[in-house]
Amino acid sequence: MEPKPAHKEKITKKRAAPGGEVVIHIKGLKKSFGDKEVLKNINLDVHKGENVVVLGRSGSGKSVTIQCVVGKLVPDEGELTVFGEEVAAMNEEELKSLRTRIGFLFQGAALYDSMTLRENMEFPLTRVLKIKDQEEIDRRVEEMLDGVGLLEAIDKMPADLSGGMRKRAGLARTLIVKPEIILYDEPTTGLDPMTSREISKLILQMQKKYKTTSIIITHDMDCARITADRVVIMHEGEYIAEGTFDELRNSDDELICSFF
Amino acid sequence: MAEQAAPAWKRWLEEGGDQVFFLKGFFRNVFRGGFEWSEFVRQCYEIGYKSLTLVATTAFIMGLVLAMQLRPTLVDFGAESMLPRTLAVSIVREIGPVITAIICAGKIASGIGAELGSMKVTEQIDAMDISGANPMQYLVVTRVLATTWMVPLLALMGDLIGLAGGFLAINIQSKVSLLLYFHKCIGALGFADFLPAFIKTIFFGFAIGFIGCYKGYNSNRGTESVGLSANSAVVAASLWIFVIDAIVVQISNVLLLN
């Protein structure tokens, strides 16, 4: 057993304890792919209404963690509960029901490329929320697209949208079902600094408007600074530090500083 | 040698097992309710209507060439009048269904494999799944049922157009009226010729849709896998067409001809 790193203790003590109900509880989470141990021992509580940013190098297991949260991957060991329910113990119907309460924004936005933006937005409304009233669907789609500044592009195909527009459209499609939790997988990757900042501000704005709880996986320091209530740093499958953005940035630990 | 062959067999068995689970998932979703009618109709249009020209052209040429190839032999035996009957039996029983299915495997299975493979690579299938929608219902059930429905119709059309090609070939070198030609063709055909051929096209259609969906849905990450999915969908669907053909011919011979 290696001793716990000193920086972890110090920074955890400094951090103001977040309040509110715990909506995501992760304890001792482990996940391996073949011989490669991707998650070694993950412990994290995410509170209602909180924005937690997970920083880490590529391959450190950040995306695997949120894929376990949404039930896409099954952990090898550990406890993972969402809204108090153990995700690994859920059957198909329970998992489907959970997923209607969780939004997931993919790195590439994952817009359905054979559908227009309007049809992309309508898809979760008709298939997940089972809304039949076309007027209600139109109202929700237009309101959401207006919120992300894409109302004029409503009949465009995803291929006709720029990178930033695609991210905004992906965010709108995620938010249209009004999820309680949103998991962002590198929401600003591949965007120029100005568009990245716009997306980060939009994430924050939407979080305040819809009062969602978020886990944001990112490498983008600007995004972390704008959106984070709390930052967790992940290194080689373990969380090595957590605190506010400023606390971690001003840390005297060399490893933590290397992320900023 | 045996040591080298073992992993390939293991992979083959694993894929066989995966296909059984995928088939189970397909049937469970067919009977689950919430059928995607609008997507099914769109797929029928994409798969059926957009394959019409290709199938019609191929069938016409096959009928034409078959008649041209058969004629000299039949003339040597003094059996030229048997040409329409021979054409009808060979086209309706075997050439029409198999050629149509092979054309559809090339066009449709590869198209489905590439489309779903691309959706997998760009995380669109994961997005559907994680949002709580049902990608099996929307993407797989509709496509497999559309091919199962449209390939038999395309094969029927291919049979008719193939016979029309044969009529043209006969009329290049001799003179036969359209009425007489079709009268002789239909007179040569019985229930035992038509029914097994039609039934096997239903299985061909199912195999084309199922293999295309399976390969696309299970493609790996990376753009290279999209091409591999499309390619392996064509190869596997074509192989299944010949396997199904052999099985149905054996069964129909036992049940109907003996």
**Nearest neighbour of A99 by CB, restricted to B115, B130, B138:** B130
Q: Do A110 and B126 touch (CB under 8 A)?
A: yes
Domain boundaries, chain B: 36-257
pLDDT at A8: 43
Residue B238 in this model has a pLDDT that exceeds 60: yes
Q: Do B127 and A97 touch (CB under 8 A)?
A: no
Beta strands in A66-130 (DSSP E): 77-82, 85-86, 102-105
Residue B247 in this model has a pLDDT that exceeds 90: yes
Q: How many residues does chain B have?
A: 258
Could you give the strand order of the β-sheet that contains A36-47, starting from the edge strand earlier in sequence? Answer: A85-86, A77-82, A22-33, A36-47, A238-243, A230-235, A51-56, A213-218, A181-185, A102-105
Q: How much is the pTM? A: 0.85
Greatest CA separation found in chain A?
61
Question: Which two three-digit tokens encode residue B125?
Answer: 């299938």
Please choose, from the candidates B100, B112, B212, the residue with its C-alpha nearest in 3D space to the C-alpha of residue B153.
B100
Quick one: pLDDT band at residue A11, thresholds 50, 70, 90? very low
Lowest mean per-residue pLDDT among A77-81, B2-6, B22-26, B219-223: B2-6
Q: Do B123 and A70 touch (CB under 8 A)?
A: no
Give the pLDDT mean for A201-230.
Answer: 88
Collect all residues with Cβ–Cβ distance below 8 Å to B86 and sequence separation of at least 6: B70, B74, B188
Distance from CA of A243 to the nearest CA of B (A): 29
Domains assigned to chain A: 6-112+164-257 (3.40.50.300)
Question: Which two three-digit tokens encode residue B200?
Answer: 């096997």
Question: Which two three-digit tokens encode residue A142?
Answer: 């237009």
Q: What is the pLDDT of residues A162-206, one digit of tens each?
A: 888 998 899 899 989 989 999 999 888 878 888 888 888 888 888
Please choose, from the candidates A55, A114, A20, the residue with its C-alpha nearest in 3D space to the C-alpha of residue A251.
A55
Q: What is the pLDDT of residues A98-131, one digit of tens each?
A: 998 999 999 888 999 999 999 999 999 998 889 9
Q: Is A179 on the interface with B (CB under 8 A)?
A: no
Burial class (CB in 10 A: 0-12, 13-18, 19+), A35: exposed
Lowest mean per-residue pLDDT among A67-71, A222-226, B1-5: B1-5
Q: What is the pLDDT of residues B57-76, one digit of tens each?
A: 999 999 999 999 999 999 88
Quick one: pLDDT band at residue B118, thresholds 50, 70, 90? very high
Q: Is B132 on the interface with A (CB under 8 A)?
A: yes
Q: Hey, which residues 99-118 in chain B have their CB within 8 Å of chain A?
A: 115, 118
Q: Is A43 on the interface with B (CB under 8 A)?
A: no
Q: What is the pLDDT of residues A130-158, one digit of tens each?
A: 998 999 999 999 999 998 888 999 999 99
What's the distance, CA B37 to chain centroid?
A: 22
Give the pLDDT mean for B65-91.
Answer: 91
ipTM for the predicted complex comes to 0.82
CA A166, CA A153: separation in Å to the nearest integer?
11
Question: Which two three-digit tokens encode residue A152?
Answer: 């004029």
DSSP 8-state code for residue B77? T
Give the pLDDT mean for B84-93.
Answer: 93
Residue A1 in this model has a pLDDT that exceeds 70: no
Contacts with B130 from chain A: Cβ below 8 Å: 70, 72, 99, 102, 104
Quick one: pLDDT band at residue B212, thresholds 50, 70, 90? very high
Percent of chain A at pLDDT above 70? Answer: 93
Q: Nearest chain B residue to A178 by CA: give it.
A: B131
Nearest 5 degrees, angle CA B2-CA B6-CA B11?
A: 155
